[in-house]
Structure 1
């Protein structure tokens, strides 16, 4: 009975030892085996065997592309504190797993230190606006420095990205106010230009309207004058002279105006003077005015003719009083010879 139990224990213990010599490694992972504390070999993905108890798995290294986000606070050239988020994508070189495992204790801390060093050396050379414009230059500088440093430890820096630039809250508020002011300035300029265009267009429309209105009034007056001329010609043909015809036309227009005013029921216009004697007085005044103007015109013509005659007589008189022309020097010399 005791021997049976002992045999079972030995078998179980043997199976445990046997199975402890079998291990698997996941895809994109490498396992480091040590024998009595000394490096033995590197096992890649798949099923592997090791000597039980003697061989030990010292550790496993991830061969996938990893990303480390580093938040760095620094100061720009124009004394503005800003926080930069640097994303570093890195990977262990498969042929240098030994260096990555044994030479470097903590890859994340090492990468973080180099990122801080590079960023705090590059950003203080730039102004805040340049940091936003030249963030790719910062990323390139970080990658170049990390590649030179981390390649020795078996790491490959695939890419570095400046994923965020966060200035101080007050600085961002000031930048937003500047941006808003610039946009308001541009909007005001566009609004002023639009208002100017509307004013110019309105002025041009008013000028064109007044021009057409003036042209219409001129055409109207031209047609009225032509109609009056034809009316005077018709009246002359029946033995009425021009003065009487003009007076008759004016009186007729006066009564036509009174008639048109009487047809307007809601008109507040009052024509003064407005009496039955107005037409007769107007006709008499017009005839007297025409007669007086003709007399004044005749007198002015006679006065002008008299002045012109006196001027001519005065010129003739001056010509008769002038002495004869004196001989020139050449004529005197000829006479002496």
Structure 2
């Protein structure tokens, strides 16, 4: 029986000794109390405490943590909006005691300060300004939290405005405004493109008319040169200029009739179009040339006669 009692005593003794050994994980701090009184902070690694008398009151996370807070408030232009604020914070290693004993629930404390700052800043801004100046809101939240939480052993690493969600009707109105604005820009671009097309088409037509006119002028110049050469050839064989001109016109008349006859689908009729039209045209032209020459000669004689009469009149006579 004595040996059994010794074994039991040794067994419980080992358990008591082992209960004084504990391990603390990396980036974690353990709070040790003795009879409810704070004794010390144990950092990562294998640690010891007095069995039975000492106990681990709690563990404090030293890593960076994030708390997301959703705040609903009203802007200056009376639009209700929900903002999601992400707060990244960390317990300082030298202030584990304050972080553990001074605050019952640090998350609630941080949330309260976020609500206070956001509802003080956003009502000063219009909705568009909230989107444009969200960094200013984040900076204001961080400044207020740093000032309030530093005395509790917390460092505010960063604050971010991660979401801005206006009322559903406001979002629909904003979407309609954006759509109308985009349609306006698209219409302006389409109008500008149409204007460019019209200008380009007008320039092309103007250039085409210019080239067409130049071509017609060149064509007429070559026709006149050809007629001049034809008249010279006919003059060399004893045909005067009037007869040569009439002959050329008649030749062109028959050439025109021939080209019209080659086109089966043409509805053009050249007047006059009788078999004797060519000879009648030639006779009429020769007669008109002769009559114009006679009139020209008579006018020349009349002018010469008037000149002689004026020279014979004495000075002073009307």
1:190/1:60 CA distance change after superposition, 3 Å = same
1:273/1:23 CA distance change after superposition, 3 Å = same
Deviates more, 1:172-181 or 1:52-61: 172-181
Q: Which is higher, the Rg of structure 1 or of structure 2? A: 1
- CA distance, structure 2, for counterparts of residue 144 and residue 246 of structure 1: 107
Q: Which digits, 9 at most, give the CA deviation of each residue in 1:262-318, with x for residues without a partner?
A: 333443333232222101111121122223333444455566677888999799436
- CA distance, structure 1, for counterparts of residue 25 and residue 294 of structure 2: 134
Mapped pair 1:137 → 2:104: no
What's the offset of the Cα at 1:184? 2.0
- CA distance, structure 1, for counterparts of residue 278 and residue 207 of structure 2: 40
Structure 2 gap segments, 5+ residues each: none
Q: TM-score, normalised by structure 2?
A: 0.91
Tell me the equivalent position of 2:94: 95
Mapped pair 1:261 → 2:245: no
- CA distance, structure 1, for counterparts of residue 299 and residue 100 of structure 2: 131
Tell me the equivalent position of 1:163: 162
Mapped pair 1:69 → 2:68: yes
- CA distance, structure 2, for counterparts of residue 101 and residue 306 of structure 1: 140
1:288/1:164 CA distance change after superposition, 3 Å = same
Q: Which digits, 9 at most, give the CA deviation of each residue in 1:9-66, with x for residues without a partner?
A: 4333323322222111111111111111111111111112212221121111111111
User: SS where residue 196 of structure 1 aligns?
Assistant: helix
Name the count of aligned residue pairs.
317
User: SS where residue 274 of structure 1 aligns?
Assistant: coil
1:279/1:135 CA distance change after superposition, 3 Å = same
Deviates more, 1:106-115 or 1:130-139: 130-139
User: SS where residue 85 of structure 1 aligns?
Assistant: strand
User: SS where residue 317 of structure 1 aligns?
Assistant: coil
Structure 1 gap segments, 5+ residues each: 319-337
User: SS where residue 139 of structure 2 aligns?
Assistant: helix
Tell me the equivalent position of 1:42: 41
Q: TM-score, normalised by structure 1?
A: 0.86
Tell me the equivalent position of 1:53: 52
Cα RMSD of the aligned pairs, angstroms, is 2.4
Deviates more, 1:148-157 or 1:168-177: 168-177
What's the offset of the Cα at 1:246? 1.2
Tell me the equivalent position of 1:317: 317
Tell me the equivalent position of 1:240: 239
Tell me the equivalent position of 2:289: 290
User: SS where residue 317 of structure 2 aligns?
Assistant: helix
Tell me the equivalent position of 1:208: 207
